[in-house]
Amino acid sequence: MSAETLIFLVMGAAAGGFVNGLAGTGTALFALGFYLLVLPPVTSVAIVALMSVLAGLQGLWVVRAQMKAKPLRMVRFVLPGLVGVPLGITLLQLIDAQTLRLGIAVLLIVYGSYFSFRSVLPSFNVRTPFIDALVGFVGGVLGGAASVSGAIPAMWLSLRPWPKAATRAVLQPFNVAILSTTVALLFFRGAYDSTAVSALLIVVPVGLVASQIGLFVFKRISDNLFRRLLIGLTLLMGLAILVQIVV
């Protein structure tokens, strides 16, 4: 393995792990760009997906009490999301994934730009179980079709004036469930070859340490600041998708 490959793997693992630890989502969009510079696309996606799951498991432990307190809230996002993943993969045969990603990028940029600069954050606190399930389903479909499962759920949850742990208790298990499904599908397709295993030996320890740093920051910020970070992250995710499309 060359020094250049090693550097990009470490940079991607550090960026993706930190963001996952801080927000519970966004790993792929912040790490994939580094990996694609030195690894084949399938290998890059396989590494990001597995790293996202491993880092996400650390985040699940932090919000385990909130998950136990309101398990149905989490389930109504996760189950529809799992249903949506194979549908999204099937849709790849019918739609242009790049056009879909471009549409998502524009939506995230507009949303993130608008709310990032508002002095007062939105406060949508009405129970919406059907909309929650629909958001989870759409997230699953987009995860299967365009590898952006966390984008729409992150946008929707940032509208909620919930405590940061309550928001993460939905977003983190959602992403772990969707990406675990992705890992399983990639494994059976032979994506975890010797190249992927060699890269994972570097990526996993760096990513897990970076995730712990992100979790350290997460525990020490206020609920309001976490919502602003989540909204800002939607803007960055949109820009990251746009950059990937252009490049």
Cβ atoms of 84 and 141 closer than 8 Å? yes
pLDDT at 224: 84
pLDDT at 204: 93
* Amino acid letter, 119: S
How would you class 232 by CB atoms within 10 Å of its CB: exposed for 0-12, middle for 13-18, buried for 19 or more?
Answer: middle
The CA distance from 138 to 213, in Å, is 31
pLDDT at 101: 73
pLDDT, tens only, 108-161: 888 788 777 766 776 777 888 999 999 999 999 887 776 678 888 988 888 888
Cβ atoms of 36 and 52 closer than 8 Å? no
Tokens of 110: 């507009």
Average pLDDT estimate for 215-240: 86
Task: Look at the alpha carbons of 109, 114, 117, 118 in this order and tell me if their dihedral is positive or negative.
Answer: negative
Q: Is 127 left (phi over 0), alpha (psi -120 to 50) or beta?
A: beta
> What is the pLDDT confidence band of residue 206, given thresholds at 50, 70 and 90?
very high
The residues spanned by each domain of the chain are: 3-246
pLDDT at 59: 85
**What's the distance, CA 196 to chain centroid?**
20
By three-state DSSP, how is residue 56 classified? helix
Q: H or E stretch including 170?
A: helix 164-188
pLDDT, tens only, 76-85: 999 999 999 8
Query: Looking at per-residue confidence, does 153 or 93 come out higher?
Result: 153
